[in-house]
Structure 1
Amino acid sequence: MTNTHHAKLDSDTIADVIRPLVEADLSIKVKSIIAKVQSRFNYIVSYRKVWLAKQKSAAKIFSDWKIFYHTPPV
């Protein structure tokens, strides 16, 4: 049986974990991410928490890209 409460697995933590998935495919479905998180942590996360995590991952990816793009070469 999977655990339904995990104090440390918030949307920020999930965002860091799923970042490679989002980088590889920005259109990845939330349900697919839920399955990956459940498989990895043996924990069922809510759709809302994963949706937020996906948005945070995308924001970090694009923020890093903007910083890289606007940084002059050394």
Structure 2
Amino acid sequence: MALPSRYAVTLPGPVGGHGAAKVVVVQLLHDDGSRPADPVWGDIDGLWRMRIVGEAATVLRAPSEYEGRQLCLHAVPLP
């Protein structure tokens, strides 16, 4: 089964706030040196890197405002 080339990943709002969630689109990275069985997705700005299994995205790298937060995010494949 082929991997989706893009996902929409929902990011949480600020801690303790009631701000709306944000969405980041990530694409499959081919030049990251990962093994084919261990793919990595990233955004176009290079701020986010994550592994995605099913609909769960585990963050490998995030912008500074998300540092120190345990992030397991919802991912939806895009056409």
- TM-score normalised to structure 1 length: 0.33
User: Under a length normalisation based on structure 2, what TM-score does the superposition of the two structures give?
Assistant: 0.31
More helix by proportion, 1 or 2?
Answer: 1
**Larger relative strand fraction:** 2
Larger Rg: 1
Higher relative contact order (CA 8 A, sep 6+): 1
